[in-house]
Structure 1
Amino acid sequence: MAQVVYRARSCYRFPPVCGGSGVIWLVRIGLAVAALLFIARAAPVALSAGEPERVDKRIAITFDDTPRGAGAFLTLEERGPRLIAALAAAGVRQAAFFINPCRIQSERDGALVRAYETAGHVIADHTCTHPGLSRVSAAFYLADIDQSQARLRGRPTYRPWFRFPFLDEGGSDLVKAQAVRDGLTARGLINGYVTADGYDWNMERLTIAAKRAGRTIDMARLRDLYVETHVGAAEFADALALRATGRHPAQVLLLHETDLAALFLPDMVAGLRKAGWTIVTADEAFDDPIARRTPQVDFANGTRIQMLAWEKGLEGSRWYDRTDGPVADRLFEERVMQGARLQ
């Protein structure tokens, strides 16, 4: 009786099943419905009109000019351990330190580099003596790299990355630029480029000058300017990269081994995470597809993103405004020195 009732209801709602091929037709409907349900579950949920698109914002932390001279607040003996502790507190499991081996002139300097390695960070080449490529010959420059390579290769966390001092890849001398690129390739080195730059070295310079002049420095405002500037640098680079490449590549943030980094790095990383950034290793960042691109531009200088934007011919500024010296200096004076509270 139950079968008769089911068939009667089926004939009322789905008349084709009452014919000779009705059972087959019903099976086909069931299979179609099951397929649609499977597709619906597998497909990504469409965003509503008011929901922002998710983006993959990844950034690695890197430091130049190790070992570096004294800053405004910490001794050289204090700064290294403080910076290592700051990286640990911020949850940065791997940063990259670009080394100038000719500056390692004492046991303290050597111990500092070993401490970075012991803490799980990696080291790479920043030339031996820190020359600007535009100021020397390609032969001199490559010989300087050979000196640093002799001291760096074989170290436990060494990576075959080379970063140009001053981000100077040869300027307008394209013949020299290509000669050095060929020399890097012959030595098994890849360009350890930068994509995001907040001119932290300039902020450190201004802080040292203020301290030496006996001026009062508002440390809370200095921290806020440091954090805001570097989060802004990452955001600027990401927006420019999207225009230049059509995607969100892993970014490489340029910092220097400064007192400001040792003091404020956890605040900066917290600011990046609040803005939606994930901190990744330098290994991951330099595995991004843009690592395999060499922008062909008339002036080889600056960040990888800037040069990619120039290569594409994008209109508008390719430079983060806080990497302009007068702008950065004025912000420091207005934001840090006016109404300062702490010495």
Structure 2
Amino acid sequence: MLRRLFLPLLILLLLPVPAAAQKLIALSFDDAPRGRGAFFTPDERSARIIAELKAAEAPQAVFFVNPGALGRGDGTGGEERLAAYVAAGHVIANHSFSHPHLNATSAEAYLADIDKAEAWLQGRPGYRPWFRFPFLDEGGKDKVKRDALRAGLAARGLRNGYVTAESSDWHLETLAIQAAKAGKAIDRDALGRLYVTWHVEAADHADGLMRQVIGRQPVQMMLLHETDLAALYVGDLVRALRGAGWTVVSADTAYADPIGALMPDVPSANGTLTEALAWQAGVPAPRWYRYNDTALATAEFNAQVLHEGEGE
């Protein structure tokens, strides 16, 4: 047991620390294929995401797939859209079949759901044997369930498709959808600024924590979702990351980093790998990017994007 816990940490400690700052990051998109958002049809959205990534000369990204979403309000081309991502040079991986919460599901049922998604994914072009936990929920406070999933993934030849940087873009998308449905005027320029700025800040936050906790700069994996906001602004995000000193690399490059061998033992397994490592190292809260606080993010959205409260 001790060898299993400490060997990955020993590997990291023996790695050379780069002589100069080396900010590397890859992009991942969860919940593909999604239904309609605030601005586009699903088909329009996918076409725009592909075009924006190409225009920004972004390398291979990974789209984590929920096969159970196919045919449920995802337009006429859910499967075709996934194939289009692969044809554009990106890859696909497992995000479960039905997107369950592990803390509300037995380990056996959860693994069966993973297997159902694998049955759809395996053998398809662009497939990678990576699994990302929906909601980043790896078992919460239930360590028995957490360990059962770790063992189950290993037995299936799947690796944890962990996240190191995120800014809760799913929440920003939800706010935009709600505003559009309510007929509110949406300042798209301001919305784009929030989307881009928050993600760059989240990446820098993760970089600082990793340097503090493990003493080096691993390749970061950023969590995005297949949203209308990505369709509008992901190209701007890639350019802004580069402007902030980041090199955007492939998903394959990110998941080749030895940090993926680490399995932090913390009171609750839910969130980014960065946060878990910081927690395990005794870094006090908050260990997450500030706009992961949805109340704070909502207030900023209302003020900056909806201009609520102006002139009062």
For the criterion TM > 0.5, the same-fold answer is yes
Higher mean displacement: 292-301 or 169-178 = 292-301
Cross-structure match for 2:94: 125
Q: How does 1:61-140 map to 2 (within 5 A)?
A: 61-105=27-71, 108-140=77-109
Cross-structure match for 1:16: none
The answer as to 2:205 corresponding to 1:239 is no
Q: How does 1:133-282 map to 2 (within 5 A)?
A: 133-282=102-251
SS at structure 1 position matched to 2:79:
helix
1:54 shift after superposition: 3.4
In the aligned structure 2, how far is the partner of 1:156 from the partner of 1:162?
17
Cross-structure match for 1:306: 275
- Matched-pair contact (CA < 8 Å) for 2:302–2:308: no
In the aligned structure 2, how far is the partner of 1:93 from the partner of 1:241?
23
- Matched-pair contact (CA < 8 Å) for 2:131–2:160: yes
Q: Percent identity?
A: 52
Distance change (3 Å), C-alpha of 1:219 and 1:315? same
The equivalent position to 2:290 in structure 1, one of 321, 328, 332, is 321
TM-score, normalised on structure 2?
A: 0.90
SS at structure 1 position matched to 2:139:
strand
In the aligned structure 1, how far is the partner of 2:38 from the partner of 2:250?
29
**One-letter code of the match for 2:120?**
R
1:266 shift after superposition: 1.0
Q: Deviations over 1:30-50 (max 9, x none)?
A: xxxxxxxxxxxxxxxxxxxxx
Q: Deviations over 1:165-223 (max 9, x none)?
A: 00000000000110111000000000000000111111010011111111111111111
In the aligned structure 2, how far is the partner of 1:204 from the partner of 1:305?
23
- Poorly superposed stretches of 4+, deviation over 3 Å: none
Q: Structure 1: which 5+ residue stretches go unaligned?
A: 1-52
SS at structure 2 position matched to 1:337:
coil
1:157 shift after superposition: 0.8
Q: Deviations over 1:227-276 (max 9, x none)?
A: 10000110001001111110111100000000000010111111111100
In the aligned structure 2, how far is the partner of 1:223 from the partner of 1:80?
18
Q: Deviations over 1:59-84 (max 9, x none)?
A: 00000000001111111121111110
SS at structure 2 position matched to 1:98:
strand
Root-mean-square deviation (Å): 1.3
**One-letter code of the match for 1:78?**
E
The answer as to 2:28 corresponding to 1:59 is no
Higher mean displacement: 305-314 or 103-112 = 103-112
Q: Structure 2: which 5+ residue stretches go unaligned?
A: 1-18
SS at structure 1 position matched to 2:223:
strand
**One-letter code of the match for 1:170?**
G
In the aligned structure 2, how far is the partner of 1:235 from the partner of 1:133?
29
SS at structure 1 position matched to 2:286:
coil
SS at structure 2 position matched to 1:140:
helix
In the aligned structure 1, how far is the partner of 2:35 from the partner of 2:165?
23
In the aligned structure 2, how far is the partner of 1:100 from the partner of 1:189?
16
Q: Deviations over 1:249-304 (max 9, x none)?
A: 11000000000000101111111111000000000001111111111111101000
In the aligned structure 2, how far is the partner of 1:190 from the partner of 1:252?
14
1:339 shift after superposition: 7.3
Larger gyration radius, structure 1 or structure 2: 1
In the aligned structure 1, how far is the partner of 2:308 from the partner of 2:101?
38
In the aligned structure 2, how far is the partner of 1:125 from the partner of 1:103?
13
**One-letter code of the match for 1:177?**
R
**One-letter code of the match for 1:82?**
R
1:107 shift after superposition: 5.2
